[in-house]
Amino acid sequence: MPNYRISEVASLLGVSDDTVRRWADSGRLPTVREPGARMAVDGAVLADFLVRTAAESGSAAVVEVPVVAESARNRFRGIVTRVTRDGVMAQVELQAGAFRVVSLMSREAADDLGLEPGVVAIAAVKSTNVVVEVPQR
């Protein structure tokens, strides 16, 4: 499982390094020590933290991801929080800020991409059919 440096966690969450350090110091975000005494966050722990934080806040941090060339304009950078595999297919859940994105793909694709909880991934969404709903007032 990958570990993420404090600066990487801050970038993923759209907050400052100092905010992540305060969360770590208060025990809200558990950390591990890497060689050289550098603080880091275990990927699975970060995935769990993102799910809990998104549920608590109900708001999303907007993180710009540079696009070199892509037809899909809707890109959500986040952490894989769950991968359910069967013989042929895989369901991958990604937490991007307060947003949960679910993708169905072949098991082979999920395996080739190394998708596991705690891995950083980008969900690129392109659809010819978008439904817009208005909540009750």
For the CA atoms of 108, 119, 64, 103, the dihedral, rounded to the nearest 10 degrees, stands at 40
Q: Is residue 91 part of a domain?
A: yes
Per DSSP, the three-state class of 126 is coil
Q: Do 95 and 52 fall into the same domain?
A: no
Q: Is residue 62 part of a domain?
A: no
Q: How far apart (Å, rounded) are the C-alpha atoms in residues 56 and 25?
A: 20
Q: What is the pLDDT of residues 96-128, one digit of tens each?
A: 887 888 999 999 999 999 999 999 998 888 776
* 35 against 85, higher pLDDT: 85
Q: Do 51 and 84 fall into the same domain?
A: no
CA distances from 84 to 45, 79, 80, 105 (A): 18, 15, 11, 11
CATH number at residue 19: 1.10.1660.10
Work out the pLDDT band at 71, boundaries 50, 70, 90: low
CATH number at residue 84: 2.40.50.100
Q: Is residue 117 part of a domain?
A: yes
* 113 against 131, higher pLDDT: 113
The domain in which residue 25 lies consists of: 3-57
Provide the whole-model pTM: 0.57
Tell which phi-psi region holds residue 100, choosing left (phi > 0), alpha (psi between -120 and 50) or beta.
beta
Q: Do 7 and 53 fall into the same domain?
A: yes
Q: Is residue 64 part of a domain?
A: no
Q: Do 8 and 49 fall into the same domain?
A: yes
